[in-house]
Structure 1
Amino acid sequence: MTHPAPDGAAAPSTAAPAVPRTAPAPQPPAARKVPVERIHHGDVVVDDYEWLRAKEDPEVVAHLRAENEYTEAVTAGQQPLREAIFQEIKNRTQETDLSVPVRKDGWWYYSRMEEGRQYAVRCRVQARDTGDLAADWTPPQVEPGTEIPGEQVLLDGNAEAEGKPFFALGGTAVTKDGNLFAYAVDTTGDERFTLRIKDLRTGELLPDVVENVFYAPAFSPDGRQVFYLVVDDTWRPWQVRSHVLGTGVEEDTVIHQEDDPAMWTGFDLSADRRHLVVSISCSEYSETRLLDFADQAAGLRTLVPRSERILYDAEPFQLAGREMVLLTHNKEAVNSMVSLAGLDEFAKPLAEQQWATVVPHDDAVRVNGAGVTATHMVLSVRKDTIERVQVIPLAGLGTGTQAAPAEPDFDEELFTAGAGAMDYESPVIRLGYASFLTPPRVYDYEPATGRLWLRKETPVPGYDRGAYVASREWATSRDGTRIPLSVLRRSEVRPDGSNPALLYAYGSYEHSMDPYFSTARLSVLDRGVVMVIAHVRGGGEMGRKWYEDGKKLKKKNTFTDFVDATDWLAASGWADPARIAAMGGSAGGLLMGAVANLAPQKYAAILAQVPFVDPLTSVLDPDLPLSALEWEEWGNPLEDPEVYAYMKSYSPYENVRPLPYPPIAAVTSFNDTRVLYVEPAKWVARLRAATTGTAPVVLKTDMDAGHGGASGRYEAWKDAAWDYAFVLDALGATELLPPPQ
């Protein structure tokens, strides 16, 4: 018998203690099945989840929100780790900082970041012209958090973003006289921008407002026109338009309209601002048209027509008083070369044109592009996987007497160097530099002397470069191809076969995974994880052939290269084979979906960011965003049954089957216009229905963001922390390594 306690509370029980009840495991939302038939080339496909494409359907929105709730419940235990990583990123970031000023038309332009604020503040100060070139082209010393006399705020991103769920700039431009400032703003994440123009003399906005423009507006040299791009219903840039200030938008002129659905249109001003350069291209050939600002009535002038099937870029400029064009092209040059031709040559048939060789073709060197200043040609090349900058004087260019290229010398094996924004008349060339171990640097290179001026290294509080190691390793693919790998780790980590590892890759569109510094990545390395970047075929790291061997009917090389890199890692001693995770985004997300089907047992977890996992469905529908443009990357499954069968054989969504899939997280954005949210949403539903394992498959959808994720820097840090916490938790690598002794 139990007696009451003296104070009236129940007396302690002498019975056996009750078994505590375990909270029920979170249950994923069940996506209902609505069979939809798709028939191509006699092949019938039944898709149960295509109904999730109806973005405006309240049921779809409710389903995505339910997925977010499930994801939060499943990963709730990772919240302390997410918070820890966020704080580590924050603590390693000098929150009040600024960019290195860039001189343009008599002003120094720069941006400030301030502690506690999400977005940059764009500013400028007047430059000096004393006749001392070294002094006049040395950036002013602007201190973080301290205004300098004469500083003018062009745009405060924080004020623009106030009260909006999303904010991104799609480009800015200033007139040559420095009086007007154009800027394009996106507040939804769908990459359709509103163009506004500010009078910098008064601070007032002009009445001119243009809606639904694309990236990178530009002013004509006289400041009376602003040029902009417009996308069509498939989100393809197809029109270049001109708006004359003070007129109605309905009066805007279409400078060029591109009706070929497989071609992408862009434009820029030539370096000397004498021409508007309109570029029309796909991944295999292109066409450039020039508008001479001194004779706009003459209209656009085509250089090499697309019918010649040459992939090229063109830079018109004056050399010794003659109108010339610098061409970076692949005519009889798979890795591209640089030629020089008089502008009048392009009135002739191609076979009769005279092009002088400036940079010859080299099987070991990929030429990425060439530009000019008033005195030098600036060349971007890739050699031994590394992007480099070379400089050649214009004097004697293409005559056989030109000077040899000069290349700034850096002291690391793995780095990235590229030319940045600069004034055409600048006596120095602005360079950006980064490596896996070196935070971003800004240099000014003086071609006349070869001197390299370090203007800034991004401060990273608490960072000890000596605590980390980056090395180049090579895996061998199943067909014998050597695959370059970048291996990153803490210096005390040893190849004893016990380490967790994270393998990352992209592998499409000839896009290279170049060395870069990541503050967020340090939080992974600090937990003993060996991080490996696999430079698989389909990227551009080893030249144009490396790309061509990983596209269209050779696309599977991308996937098998990644699996073979995984096998190298498992056998290298750097990783415990049972503790390897995989990560990739966009087309790299397609890679994640493919390897999940090919070798799910090799991965402790897979993180797919904005993943292109239903490519066949998308590319079969030319009305979907960018689908027709994708034919040059994957092939055209609408017209070619071989391409259709090949894509179907690797498409992640099409090939989900009963397998013990590892923990998988798909991270996407509701307003993404490049990879629609529906692809990962369908993929996750099918994975859950098919998996024979018990590992969770989760979908996380940012309901406000676009393809690039959250817009503010703090929100972006939270996204990175979420992604890495998911991986680290699966790897059992949640604790920091002890400090070095």
Structure 2
Amino acid sequence: MHKKWNYMIIIGAMIISCSDKTGKHQVTWPDAVAPVAERKSHLRIIHGDTVADDYFWLNDYFKKGPESGNVVSYLEEENTYTSAMLKDTEGLQQSLFQEMKDRIKEKDESVPYLKNGYYYYTRTEEGKQYYKFCRRKGSMNAAEEILLDVDVLAHGYPYYAANGFSVSPDNKLLSFGVDTVSRREYTIYIKNLETGQLLPDKIEKTTGDATWASDNNTIFYTAKNPATLLTEKIKRHRLGTSQATDVIVYDEKDNTNYISVGKSKNDEYIMIYSGGTLSSEVLFLKADDPLGSFTSFQPRQKNVLYSVTPLADRFLILTNDQAKNFKVMQCPLDKTSKAHWKEFIPHREDVLIAEIDEFRDFLVISERKNGLTQMAVRSLRDGVQHYLDFGEPAYTVYPSTNVEYDTDVVRYGYTSLITPSSTFDYHMRTKKKELKKQQEVIGGYQPEDYLTERLFATASDGSQIPISLVYKKGLKKDGTAPLLLYAYGSYGVSMDPAFNTSRLSLLDRGFVYAIAHIRGGEEMGRQWYEDGKMMKKKNTFTDFIDCGKYLIAQQFTSEKHLYAQGGSAGGLLMGAVINMAPEIWNGVIAQVPFVDVVNTMLDETIPLTTNEYDEWGNPNQEPAYAYMKSYSPYENITAKEYPNLLVTTGLHDSQVQYFEPAKWVAKLRATKKGSNVILLKTDMDYGHGGASGRFDYLKDIALNYAFLFKLEGILK
């Protein structure tokens, strides 16, 4: 079905160690012929608009259609081609993998946290890909109990993920979820911690998280639709019964909402959350009444989001009702409707309230101001509030594991582009902080050898876009340095500056690494997100391009040495910017990219499609269709020169199906001009997040870096 092709790899066809007069390194690629996907007629007709989609057949593996086998063959041919084109980097990839692996402390242990009389922690062993989940009773000097040995459980599986660890109130049972396919569809198991045996209970097609009622015999869980993978129902399971008899306690009728179930920190309530981009609803039930009915806290309202935090004497409500950056309300425990809400923390135009972490006598409030995260500690006794100080220009701080309600200590995580991940305990009464652990970089790491900056690029509409940068000291800002610009820019997800040991392999070879905090994220408040979604989505793309141009103007790099990277919705970003401004990037890495926006959003059988209408729009409505079509990367490929491109995907991806990048690559190859390469690598065993082991993922990073280094003429 595909054009037959052979490899004529020229012996010695390695990167030539010279540059042309433009300063761009000359690269020689092996003489291998790229696969050519067969074109088959398929028309999409909607709103009076007819569009030819010659590569539509590539979704047949997902649809279990007649071309399934041919799809797999094509993807395997693409993998073989990519391997051939990067053959001369195999040694470099292996050395990069080992270099990055050698920085990881193989025998390590997490900071223990106290819950219901036990200290819980995970630990890793030398040479092992996974970890052990353990506890000790009363003191870290007590005997260790290994609750789950994930190294043993994962043996023989190409992919293995365990999540949702939850211990029953009497400390005797452990629930956990397992996914061996990488579709984020988990089976829940229950382990008897006294005997070490698994109970017969086996609950399939869930999110993996289970919530215990106070009776130690009832769990609540979120069930997934097996086809769309939507979270549709909350169910109640009684131990010792069949899953077929589980009772539906909540059935979500709005297929644009995600739902979940959990327990309040004070252990008083089981709480169901149903929410989309624009509205939400909370239902609650006393944890000691598992057979009771859930009550709506406040019926959902259009364009109103809220979440609920139970305290000993009242409920707190975090909401955007007439408060774009959110405010905090309060109400009595027995009167929860909106009519009884009273203001507790007012709305501020310049501060986004992101999260509340509750304790008996204190609140810890996570906020965003001027694009930076900050933490405020507020006394519930006298209302006095103070902020923690961190002393770096760009950093990330966040509440860590805080499962105890009756404590004066909040645990938080801190990191920056040059500060390894650190865990602190902060004593809220005394205002003393205690470093519990900092990520150890094996082989030596000196933060003073690197510099981090925070700059602002002016967007085309005048908005100021924050950029966080890191590079090794001694950088010459003369436009000759290679720079990798990363961003995401969707769902209100903020890409905060954080340390990464693997990134040292870039920095130590002369790269600048930069994060563009573009609209579509929430770095600068809720409006920042709303200005980068739906009918304003193009701001996300133009922001990123403007950041790239700004970094060139500031001579951090040049068009010949500028690279871009993004994944998932950030992969959509990559596809859009190479259509809009292909000339400013030398190379682009698009990971699991969401590039076939219109077709995916028209197909409700594809997992998660309907959940996304409030983010991208519903193309069944003509204005949304026209706008999405105007930027969708797959729809806007034209005959021009594109940057060198490395595209990665997973055959079992549940978030962005493999056929989106496959179709995109096929159409790009058939349409583009010039000699720049387009490479597609499909992981045939994994899904959206890649490999599950703590070392295997480094192979993907090594591949990405080798691609960049080849384009820069970096041989080792």
TM range (shorter): over 0.9
1:212 Cα offset (Å): 1.6
Residue matched to 2:55: 49
Secondary structure of the residue that 1:541 maps to in structure 2?
Answer: coil
Q: Secondary structure at the match of 1:558?
A: helix
Instruction: Please say if 1:36 is aligned against 2:42.
Output: yes
Runs of 5+ unmatched residues, structure 1: 1-18, 129-139, 141-147, 396-401, 736-741
Number of equivalent positions: 684
- The one-letter code matched in structure 2 to 1:103 is L
The residue number in structure 2 matching 1:516 is 498
| Deviation of the 1:427 alpha carbon | 2.7
Secondary structure (helix, strand or coil) at the match of 2:502 reads: helix
Contact 1:92 1:463 in 2 (8 A): no
Partner letter of residue 25 of structure 1? D
- 2:351 maps to which residue? 365
Q: How many angstroms apart in 2 are the aligned matches of 1:125 and 1:188?
A: 32
Distance change (3 Å), C-alpha of 1:24 and 1:671 = closer
Aligned: 1:729 with 2:710: yes
Match of 2:460 in 1: 478
Q: Deviation digits for residues 557-592 of structure 1, max 9, x if unmatched?
A: 010111111110111111133110110000000000
**Where do residues 525-564 of structure 1 align in structure 2 (5 Å cutoff)?**
525-564=507-546
| Change in 2 beyond 3 A, CA 1:571/1:732 | farther
Is 1:288 the counterpart of 2:296 in the alignment? no
291-300 or 302-311, which moves further after superposition? 291-300
Structure 1: distance between partners of 2:563 and 2:89: 16
Please give the alpha-carbon distance, in whole angstroms, between the structure 2 residues aligned to 1:518 and 1:297: 47
Per-residue deviation, 1:214: 1.0
1:219 aligns with 212
> Does 2:558 match 1:576?
yes
Q: Contact 1:366–1:543 at 8 Å: present in 2 too?
A: yes
Matched letter for residue 241 of structure 2: T
Q: 2:387 is matched with which residue: 390, 393, 407?
A: 407
Q: CA RMSD in A?
A: 1.6
- Tell me which of 360, 364, 385 is aligned to 1:374: 360
2:587 to 589, 594, 605: 605
8 Å CA contact 1:580, 1:731 repeated in 2:
no
CA positional deviation for 1:370? 1.2
- CA change 1:26–1:428 in 2 (3 A) is same
How far is the alpha carbon of 1:726 from its aligned partner? 1.1
> Which amino acid is the alignment partner of residue 393 of structure 1?
S
Task: Give 1:112 shift.
Answer: 0.6
* 1:149 Cα offset (Å): 4.8
Counterparts of 1:159-178 in structure 2, within 5 Å, are 159-178=152-171
How far, CA to CA, are the matches of 2:286 and 2:102 in structure 1? 51
Look up the match of 1:76: 87
Task: Give the TM-score of the pair, scaled to structure 2.
Answer: 0.93
Deviation of 1:120 (Å):
1.2
CA distance in 1, matches of 2:11, 2:163: 56
- Corresponding residue of 2:20: none
Paired AA for residue 669 in structure 2: R
- Could you tell me how far apart the structure 2 residues matched to 1:209 and 1:342 are? 39
Q: 2:633 aligned with 1:643, yes or no?
A: no
| Shift of residue 24, structure 1, vs aligned partner | 7.3
Indicate how the Cα distance of structure 1 residues 20 and 628 shifts in structure 2: closer, same or farther if over 3 A, else same: closer
**Aligned counterpart, 2:130:** 119
Give distance in 2, aligned partners of 1:316 and 1:374.
10
Counterpart CA distance in 2 for 1:48 and 1:717 is: 35
SS in 2 for 1:266: strand
Residue 37 of structure 1 aligns with an amino acid whose one-letter code is: L
CA deviation profile, 1:530-552 (whole Å, cap 9, x unmatched): 11111111111000000011101
Which residue in 1 is equivalent to 2:16?
A: none
* Mapped contact 1:593–1:613 kept (Cα < 8 A): yes
State whether residues 30 and 85 of structure 2, in contact with CA within 8 Å, keep that contact through their aligned partners in structure 1: no
Summarize the Cα distance change of 1:308–1:567 in structure 2 as closer, same or farther, 3 Å threshold.
Answer: closer
The 2-side partners of 1:212 and 1:515 are apart by 35
> Secondary structure in 1 aligned to 2:196?
coil
Separation (CA, whole Å) in 2 of partners of 1:21 and 1:292: 71
Aligned: 1:450 with 2:431: yes
Residue 327 of structure 2 corresponds to 337
Gaps of 5+ in 2: 1-9, 14-28
**Contact residue 571 and residue 577 of structure 1 kept, 8 A:** no
Q: Is the 8 A contact 2:409 2:426 kept in 1?
A: yes
- Measure the CA separation in 2 of the matches of 1:54 and 1:529: 41
Structure having the higher Rg: 1
Distance in 2 separating the partners of 1:279 and 1:440: 30
Counterpart Cα distance in 2 of 1:270 and 1:171: 15
Cα deviation digits, residues 335-378 of structure 1 (max 9, x gap)? 0011111133335xx4xx23232221111111012131222222
Is residue 500–residue 733 contact of structure 1 (8 Å, CA) maintained in 2?
Answer: no
Tell me the residue number matched to 1:187. Answer: 180
Corresponding residue SS for 1:370:
strand
Residue 136 of structure 1 aligns with which residue? none
The CA deviation string for residues 596-628 of structure 1, in whole angstroms up to 9 with x for no partner, is: 111111111010001001111111112211111
Aligned letter for 2:622? P
1:299 to 275, 293, 301: 293
Name the TM-score, length of structure 1 as normaliser: 0.90
1:24 & 1:701 partners in 2: Cα distance? 20
Residue in structure 2 matched with residue 274 of structure 1 by the alignment: 268
Q: Comparing 610-619 with 223-232, which one deviates more in the overlay?
A: 223-232
**What aligned pairs does 1:604-643 form with structure 2 within 5 A after superposition?**
604-638=586-620, 640-643=621-624
**CA distance in structure 1 between the partners assigned to 2:713 and 2:387 by the alignment:** 45
2:252 to 246, 255, 258: 258
Q: Distance in 2 between matches of 1:601 and 1:497?
A: 16
- 1:235 is displaced (CA, Å) by 1.2
Q: 2:309 aligns with which of 284, 307, 315?
A: 315
Correspondence list, 1:580-599, <5 A: 580-599=562-581
